[in-house]
Structure 1
């Protein structure tokens, strides 16, 4: 029997749950997830979860908060529910114009942003991620790229600027299970800005308020 998209996604969700519970390591999860999305028949899906508890079995997972400062909730699934999603975008180009990515979208494992006398805006606060390790390459020529990340995301910035700027103030560790986003590239007579901001509706603790 041919497998449907709904059945493939159901298996993917069970694999994400198993990863979050520690039943699978990252290598096993990625291998099985890739096989799930490539499966053509139901018979190919069954072995991927045959050694995992059926939905509702096993010890209940600890509750995950759904709001607040630095919380990576996605329908109470945390970071595990936001990693391994098929990419919806792998790049953006702005030539004497602009582009933007924000809200609920999925970042490709390698995303390239190019701006020439234009601007690009990337908001990762509500984004999903194709893989745990993501690379965002920014090339700004007489233009700019602005990247907004949540406080609980692991971010590394190592680009450089020539007669321009490559702001690395957004660099910092994330919460447990966070994806690792590496931002690199160069700015020529332009700029790349990486800044941390809370998700909409979140309020930072008083200790972090300015």
Structure 2
């Protein structure tokens, strides 16, 4: 009979472990480098045993029980939508939502999370922190109040931005670290001067 740890992991299993790792990074159990490395390993994990090893040193509540016991797929869970940007950017478009209350947990680590909301939205930052990064709210007014948007925003060397448009200046990590597609290349050499005119004979 196949050992439980050798059971193949599902996308839901991997997502749950990434969330557990992100929480460990948010409360200081993992530093930025460790979080980046383990998140990459979680996305590439094939079995429950590989996933369990990534959170074995994070405490008894770090890993969802279904994966920790390697007993089968994770049960469905409810709660705030969760978005994570690591070494890249994520855009979450909530402008078409008809829900009166929207909840989101956004984490930006060496990247940006941009949350697009309808004009008039009532945005509340309900937790999180900014460490060498920014948390910004820029919502256009509207004649009618929009939905209530509750955001737990953690920004580490990056930005979490809640706004009504995609326009705006580059985020913290692009301005200070370059970001993807913004490498500072050396200037090309100047063309040689034209040859002097030949003397008249």
TM range (shorter): 0.3 to 0.5
Using structure 1 for the length normalisation, give the TM-score: 0.38
Larger radius of gyration: 2
